[in-house]
Amino acid sequence: MQSQTYTYEDYLKINDDSRYELIGGELILVPAPKTVHQRISGELFGEIRNFVRKNCSGAVYASPIDVVLSDTDKPQPDILFISSNRLDIVAEDYINGAPDLVIEILSPSTAGYDKVKKSKMYYAYGVKEYWIVDPDAKVVEVFAPGEKNWNLVEAYDKDGILVSPLLPGLKIELKSVFG
């Protein structure tokens, strides 16, 4: 039996208070994140936002925010960055296209999607940098697009200082992020 393929239009008709992502036409219920997830997200968001403001380099957003990549792909990344020369993709209700940087913080319910399906989707739509944050292992992996898939640029543990190829000069002490 084939499951239904959902579109962004179908998603807009949902009338409940739950959060959903749309990945390859599959409607995925996204439960509320745990407190550790939110603390890490807040720390990373604050560090990146401060850097972006200081350098007038674009805009940073935190979930929940819809990113419409196609009629059947609408993720809600935990954190995203859009460079100043691409701010035209920011619409009133959603982001209309691939952000430059996407950060996903793993949680038990979404780790498989973040590492496989969403990773492939972000690559296919032209995201320039992808971070996967593992709160349990206290590791951040930074990926850049390669010829056919993501290339691991660097993996940082809780004692590392994360740098971003996309945002030269950004330095995040992960001790403060992971607490």
Looking at residue 64, which CATH number applies to its domain? 3.90.1570.10
Cα dihedral 163, 167, 169, 175 sign: negative
Residue 1: inside a domain, yes or no? no
Residue 92: inside a domain, yes or no? yes
Residue 143: inside a domain, yes or no? yes
Burial class, 118, CB count within 10 angstroms (exposed 0-12 / middle 13-18 / buried 19+):
buried
Burial class, 18, CB count within 10 angstroms (exposed 0-12 / middle 13-18 / buried 19+):
exposed
Residue 2: inside a domain, yes or no? no
pLDDT tens readout for residues 6-62: 999 999 999 988 899 999 999 999 888 899 999 999 999 999 999 999 998 999 999
Sequence-ordered list of residues with C-beta below 8 angstroms from that of 4, at least 6 positions apart, any chain: none
Q: How far is CA 18 from CA 21, 37, 171, in A?
A: 10, 18, 35
**Global confidence as pTM:** 0.95
Residue 81: inside a domain, yes or no? yes
Residue 3: inside a domain, yes or no? no
Residue 62: inside a domain, yes or no? yes
pLDDT tens readout for residues 106-131: 988 777 888 889 999 999 999 999 99
* pLDDT value of residue 58: 96
Domain containing residue 116: 8-178
Whether 2 has a pLDDT exceeding 70, the answer reads no
How many domains does one find in the chain? 1
Residue 121: inside a domain, yes or no? yes
